[in-house]
């Protein structure tokens, strides 16, 4: 089994505060009028170290830090329930290293977002996927099946 580093390697340094500023603000973002509850950089995949995700209100947004302090929106996911409020978000990955976002909030539903494929289905079906191969194994739908949007599966 391949060992996936968790980014918890020890760092050698001084714990005393330095008088010199090491960081400076280069940009400011505002997402609507609701507070942002989480900001998390992607340390899972080194190809995307300049990407970060935010949650606030019924929205999860992925940004990219580019040259000159510019921040670009890569993707934005908005829950149809206007009363949803996402409080937390985290990066995760499958065995091949493909990054995912995992977000949860007020409604108690954990959303797993495949940021690589950007695919979402609203065809009144539930799909069973093999996350290792990325192949759809089974689609639960049909004449006698579910006849409205599927919002969550427990």
Binned average pLDDT, 10 residues per bin, the chain of 154 residues: 52 62 72 84 85 91 87 87 90 80 85 69 64 74 60 49
> pTM for the complete prediction?
0.61
Are 133 and 107 found together in one domain? no
Are 149 and 131 found together in one domain? yes
Do the beta carbons of residue 87 and residue 81 sit within 8 Å?
Answer: no
pLDDT at 43 (0 to 100): 86
pLDDT at 14 (0 to 100): 60
Confirm whether 109 is domain-assigned: yes
Query: What is the count of structural domains for the chain?
Result: 2
Domain holding 59, by residue range, is 38-119
């Amino acid at each position: 089994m391949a060992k996936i580093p968790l980014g918890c390697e020890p760092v050698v340094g001084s714990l005393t505060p330095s008088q010199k500023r090491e960081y400076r603000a280069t940009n400011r973002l505002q997402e609507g009028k609701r507070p942002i509850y989480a900001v998390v950089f992607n340390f899972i995949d080194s190809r995307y170290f300049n990407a970060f995700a935010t949650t606030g209100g019924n929205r999860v947004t992925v940004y990219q830090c580019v040259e000159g302090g510019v921040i670009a929106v890569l993707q934005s996911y908005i829950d149809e329930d206007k009363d949803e409020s996402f409080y937390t978000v985290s990066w995760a990955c499958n065995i091949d290293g493909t990054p995912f976002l995992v977000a949860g909030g007020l409604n108690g539903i954990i959303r797993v977002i495949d940021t690589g494929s950007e695919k979402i289905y609203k065809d009144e079906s539930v799909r069973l996927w093999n996350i290792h191969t990325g192949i759809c194994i089974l689609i639960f739908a049909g004449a006698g099946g579910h006849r409205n949007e599927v919002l969550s599966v427990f």
